[in-house]
Amino acid sequence: MSLTFAATVADRGFDVAFELEAGETLAVLGPNGAGKSTLLGLLAGLLAPTAGRAELNGRLLFDVAEGRRVLTEPRHRGVALLAQEALLFPHLTALDNVAFGPRSRGERRRASRSTARRWLERVGVTDLAARRPAELSGGQAQRVAVARALAADPFLLLLDEPLAALDVTVAPALRVLLRDVLAHRSAIIVTHDPLDAFLLADRVLILESGRVVEAGRTRDVLTRPVTAFGARLAGLNLVAGEVTATGFRAGNGLEVPVGEGTPEGPRLALAVRPARVAVARAPGEEPGWSWIRAVVDDAEHRGDTVRVHAAGLSADVTPADVVELGIEPGAEVFLGLRHHDAVVYPV
């Protein structure tokens, strides 16, 4: 086990516990105010918990309880933090910025610079070694910042929205770089972008109001979410309901027959992709479909489709369908889905 973490911060309503295996990358997601930055601050030593204990590779990060308060200094934790902004030392060259970590560990100047050159080569900016931060673009500076963080050889790398400040034309290349350098390395990445979780993370942790509401392997969380936030990340509709004598009945009145072996429980949900939800003026009569009457709440343009929101469901239709069906807030429509496009599971 690389990391065990359990901490509360009373004045922030934060109470979170999790474990991270050696070599795993964990993506932490959640709405604003969920506690993502608090989590990073506790691990980096920038914030002290009200109570809790965390260990990294057998090294105590903090142990706080009644009558006990042990807080390891940030520089002795083996943790490196890569923030949204590169935050490079403005008076140092790119080479010396990257060499700063090895030098802080006691390496001689020549050895630390050799380490720095290897990492600058790894992130593809060897030719920028002599430049100062003011002479670098945003993408170049963030690559140097990645090299600086990794040159410190941390047990755990923390990434706080590392792509958020970058131009959309630069972010994909840096995401590919992170995928490469994070392989087999213990890391935690805080992000608002589900693509980061899809491409970089082995596991996902979703926070809401300072609590863990969803956790698991990335594939599991993104194919069978159990919260509304997780469903939005996965691009799925998620409606709660229960199994009845004739099948599954959602809170919005949608009924779908279920086959044998459907799990029973007090809380079940149905998941279906918006592209698989039909919108019509009248319910269809084809077998294998379920329909409900609904009032349109909203419609939003999304590239070559329009996403219609009604009765707790989202449906993707074409702009031509919007005109033909008269879709607008307050309009009455029917929503339908094929039974084999829906999945029912316990939440």
Structural contact between residues 189 and 196, judged by C-beta atoms closer than 8 angstroms: yes
The reply to whether 141 and 197 lie within a common domain is yes
For residue 254 the two structure tokens come to 């949608």
The reply to whether 266 and 205 lie within a common domain is no
- pLDDT band at residue 105, thresholds of 50, 70 and 90? confident
Average of per-residue pLDDT across 134-150: 89
Please compute, for residue 30, the number of CA atoms within 13 A of its CA located in the half-sphere on the CB side.
24
Average of per-residue pLDDT across 81-109: 87
For residue 278 the two structure tokens come to 């039909």
- Tell me, what CATH number does 205's domain have? 3.40.50.300
What's residue 210's pLDDT? 95
pLDDT, mean over the chain:
90
Residue 263 has pLDDT above 90, yes or no: no
Task: Give the residue numbers spanning the domain of 92.
Answer: 3-231
The reply to whether 221 and 76 lie within a common domain is yes
What's residue 316's pLDDT? 96
Angle, CA of 80, 85 and 87, to the nearest 5°: 65
- Tell me, what CATH number does 251's domain have? 2.40.50.100
- pLDDT band at residue 206, thresholds of 50, 70 and 90? very high
The reply to whether 251 and 273 lie within a common domain is yes
Please count the helices (runs of H) and the strands (runs of E) in the chain: 9, 21
What's residue 234's pLDDT? 87
Q: In what order do the strands lie in the sheet with 79-82?
A: 79-82, 156-160, 187-190, 25-29, 203-208, 211-217
b (16+ CB within 10 A) / e for 137-157: eebbbbbbbbbbbbbbebbbb
Short-list 76, 61, 50, 48, CA closest to 5: 61
Q: How many domains does the chain have?
A: 2
Final residue before a domain boundary, out of 231, 252, 268: 231
The reply to whether 295 and 206 lie within a common domain is no
Average of per-residue pLDDT across 38-51: 96
